[in-house]
Amino acid sequence: MTVDDATAGRRIVMLVDNGVEGDSRVQKTARSAAEAGWDVILLGCSPTDAPQRWRLGPAQVHLLPMNAAPAAAGHRSATGRLRARLLARGGPLLRAARWARRPVEYAQVWFWRAAQGDRSWRRLEPGLWNYERAFGAVIDGLAPDLIHAHDFRMLGVGARAAERARAAGRPVKLLWDAHEFLPGAKPRRANARWLPAHLAHEREYVPYADAVVTVSTALADLLRRQHHLAELPTVVLNAPAVTPHPPAESTPVPDLRRLCGVDGGTPLLVYSGSATAQRGLGTVVAALARLDGVHLALVVGDAATPYLRQLLAAAARLGVADRVHTVPYVPHWQVPALLAAADAGVIPIHHWPNHEIALITKFFEYSHARLPIVVSEVRTMAETVRATGQGEVFRTRDPADFARAARAVLADPGRYRAGYDGPDSPLPAWTWEAQAALLDALYQRLLAGDQTSKEATAR
C-alpha cells in the first residue's frame, strides 16, 4: 500500500488536554501527519470560554471551551472559594488544612478502590468527566478513522469515542501516546486522591487502545509490563524538527546573547524549558557563585512564576543576579538555532522516576544546537552523554560538582562537540522527521485492514 492509498480521505482526530501552544510533541505530530497526507484535526482545550481555531501547516487546530461541566465545576468552585479564604489568612493555614484533610483523602481512596476497583476514578477525580463533556460530541461529529489520544487524561475520552463509533457500525482505531510513566509522575495537585484516581483511569482504558506509542525504550518496557500489553509500544522520540518551515511562517531567530546583554566572549550556559523546583535550577544558580564571569540564560515560558521569582531572589542573595537572564520561548522549530549561541546546555533535574527513563526534549534540542551538555546523574541521559562524549555528568543537587562539570565543558568545548560528528553521529536519528516516519508507518498499519475492507465492500 502506498502512502497516498493509505492516507486518501482518512481522518485522524488528535486529542490533548492543553492549549497546544507550548506542547512541541503535539504540534509536531499533528503537522507532520497532515503533511504526510492525513486529514488531521487536533482538539485541545481553549484557555477562554470561547472556541479557538487555527492551523499548524495543513493540520487544523480546534480548541474547545471547558466551561460546560456543571457537577465537577461546582465542586471545584467551592474548593476554590475555600482555598481563597485560606490564602487570604496566610500560607501556613493552607498548609495546615492540607495536612488535616489527608486522613480523610486516604480513607476515600481506600473505600472507593475497594468498592469500585479501576472505576473508582469516577468518585476520586470526577473532574475527568469535564473532558468528556467538552470533547465527546465533537469527536463523534468528526467521524475519525483513527483517534490519537495524547497522554493519560485523553485516553478515556478517546476510548469512549471509539466504542461509540464501533457500536454505530463505524470502524475506528485508537492510538494512545503515553508521554510519561504515570506511576512515576509527580501529582499535579497536592491531594492523596490525584494519583490513585488517574492510575485507575489509565488502567481501565488502556485495553481499548489498538496500539501504544511512547517517548523512550525504557518507558516502552515499563508500559508493556505495567499494562500487560500484547506488543511493545512504538518509540517516537521527542526530537526536534530540522526541515525548515515555509518562508511565510518563518520569522528571524532571536539572538540569545543580545537578549542576555552579553558579548561573544562571555561564557554562557543555557537552560530551556519548564522551570520548577524538581528541574534543579537552584543547583545551577548556586554554582554560579563558583563560576566567575559565567552567565546563565533561562529560556522559559513565564518569567513571573512564583518559583522563578524565588530563584531570582536566591541569585540576588548570592550576588549573581546580574548573571542570570530570563528569555521568552520561541516557536519549537527555532529552539536549536536560538540555543546555538550559548556555550553549553544544562539539564540539572532531580532524581524522579520519569526523569530517569527518557531523553527529554531539551536534550535533543541542545544536541541539534551542537552544545556540550552538563547533565545530572539521571540514568538514561547520563548513560547517553558518557557513551557519546557530548558532555559531562555531575552529582545531582551538588553545586560544587556542577561547577566542576561546567568548567570542563567551557574549557574545551570542541572536545564535546566532536560527539556530534562523524559516521557514528546520533543526530540523523534524533530528528522529528525520522520519528514521524515511524508514526506514519504505524498509522498505515492500523488502518490497512479497514481500508482493505472498504475497498472490498466498494467492489
Give the other-Cβ count within 10 Å of 196's Cβ.
21
- What is the structure's pLDDT at 70? 45
Which three cell numbers, joined as nine digits, stand for 412? 574545551
Q: At what angle do helices 281-288 and 399-411 cross, to 10 degrees?
A: 70
C-alpha cell at 17: 488536554
Closest CA relative to residue 406, chosen from 387, 393, 388, 419: 393
Cell of 355: 526523569
| Distance (Å, whole) CA 396 – CA 52 | 42
Q: 267, 258 in Cβ contact below 8 A?
A: no
CA-closest candidate to residue 217, choices 201, 195, 232: 232
The hierarchical CATH code for the domain 247-420 is 3.40.50.2000
Do domains 3-68+126-239+433-458 and 247-420 share one topology? The answer is: yes
pLDDT at res. 162: 98
Q: How much is the pLDDT for 247?
A: 74
- The torsion angle over the Cα atoms of residues 440, 443, 448 and 454, rounded to 10 degrees, is -120
What is the helix (H) or strand (E) element at residue 340, kind and residue range? none
Q: What are the domain boundaries of the chain?
A: 3-68+126-239+433-458, 247-420
Which class is 3-68+126-239+433-458 in CATH?
alpha beta
**Residue 350 carries which DSSP code?**
P
Q: Tell me whether strands 344-347 and 373-376 are parallel, antiparallel or unpaired.
A: parallel
Residue corresponding to grid cell 469516577:
122
Q: Measured on CA atoms in the order 425, 442, 235, 339, is the torsion positive or negative?
A: positive
Cα(72)–Cα(64) distance, integer angstroms: 17
pLDDT at 450: 64
Tell me, what's the pLDDT at 102? 77
DSSP-based three-state secondary structure for 93: helix
Strand partners for 70: none
- What per-residue confidence (pLDDT) applies to 12? 98
State the pTM of this model: 0.88
Picking from 226, 195, 200, 231, the residue whose alpha carbon sits closest to that of residue 213 is 231
Q: What is the pLDDT of residue 82?
A: 44
Taking each continuous run of H as one helix and of E as one strand, the counts in the chain are 19, 14
What single letter denotes the amino acid at residue 399? P
Measured CA to CA, the distance from residue 181 to residue 352 in angstroms comes to: 11
Low-confidence ranges of the chain (pLDDT < 70): 1-8, 68-95, 97-101, 248, 450-459
Sign for the pseudo-dihedral over CA of 331, 353, 309, 289: negative
